[in-house]
Amino acid sequence: MVRAAYFDANGIKKGAWSEEEDKRLIAYVERYGHPNWRQLPRLAGLLRCGKSCRLRWMNYLRPNLKRGNYTQKEEQLIMDLHKEHGNKWSLIAENLPGRTDNEIKNYWHSHLKKFQNRNVNNTTYDDDDDDLNKSKSKSSSESTMEHERPKCELSNDDSHHIILESSVSNVSTESSYSSYTEEDNKRNNDDGDNDTVDNNDNSWFCFSSGREEESNRKDDRVASWDKATLFDEFGSSFWTEPFILDNTFNQDYSYILYYREDPFFI
DNA sequence: AAAAAATGCAACCGCAACAAA
DNA sequence: CTTTGTTGCGGTTGCATTTTT
């Protein structure tokens, strides 16, 4: 249903997210917040651009998201707000807690758009409204598909799970991670990222600024990533200890960020 | 049963807005 | 004021799944 994962010319992964990537992103954001999406992928050990991480988090992984199961009330609200504001999806989403602008946009185009010229103020789904009923029955069947947010545990050791899950309880919203105040976030230029990939983002896990060695390393990098079982190799310290930041530059004029025994970061 | 068409939706892209230097 | 970097928005795409022929 979603485009297959692939690597672009810069070695940045695109397309569908793997469960391991989700776990990594969730674990990182829940632990450190997202003061800077652009820097996040490299710090989290993801091969994505920051924008992709942000999108994945905002539209799929952040807590308290609803998926499917649109109520009549929600549908009516979407139609009313759309009638009033047009394609202001983010504005509409503000009025539907747990819904993302992207999901609402998709839902509008797939389910509600065709009814926009009808008397939307009387959306009572009459029995003789075949289209509407079809849509309704379909959407309700879809709604049985519960959104399963990947668990954060990275091994069979439940201690990881406990730690991370407990941290979740301290996070009230996606942007208010307890470690960061609003002021901190502002100071750090908030979140999000530009899709544009610069030289730093081109680097693999961005531990090097890449440059001429980029293409040569790509295969090794992919191979490393494919060793998804790496998650099982992490000691418990990986998710419980802070990052060790080493700003010293190596021979490639690259800087090294690594996290204890994390093979990604060495 | 097979092929074709339609659908749904996660993810991508480009760009405007904003903030900081 | 200009430049640079970051964020968030809305339009669009790609493709797995479902429905129709």
User: What pTM was estimated for this model as a whole?
Assistant: 0.61
State whether the beta carbon of A39 lies below 7 angstroms from any atom of strand C. Answer: yes
Q: Which of the 8 DSSP states describes residue A246?
A: E
Q: Rounded to the nearest 5 degrees, what angle is found at the Cα of A128, between the Cα atoms of A123 and A130?
A: 85
Read off the tokens for A90.
């983010």
Q: How far is the CA of A14 from the C1' of C15 (A)?
A: 14
More confident residue, A119 or A196: A119
CATH 1.10.10 domain position(s) in chain A: 72-142
Give tens-digit pLDDT for A182-227. 333 333 333 333 443 333 333 333 333 333 233 333 333 333 333 3
State whether the beta carbon of A138 lies below 7 angstroms from any atom of strand C. Answer: yes
Shortest CA–C1' contact from A200: which nucleotide?
A: C5
Residue nearest to nucleotide B11 (CA to C1'): A15
Nucleotides of C under 7 A from a protein CB: 5-17, 19
State whether the beta carbon of A201 lies below 7 angstroms from any atom of strand C. Answer: no
Handedness of CA A11, A31, A92, A144 (dihedral sign): positive
Q: Which of the following CATH numbers is that of domain A72-142: 1.10.357, 1.10.10, 3.90.1600, 1.10.8?
A: 1.10.10
**AA letter at A97:** P
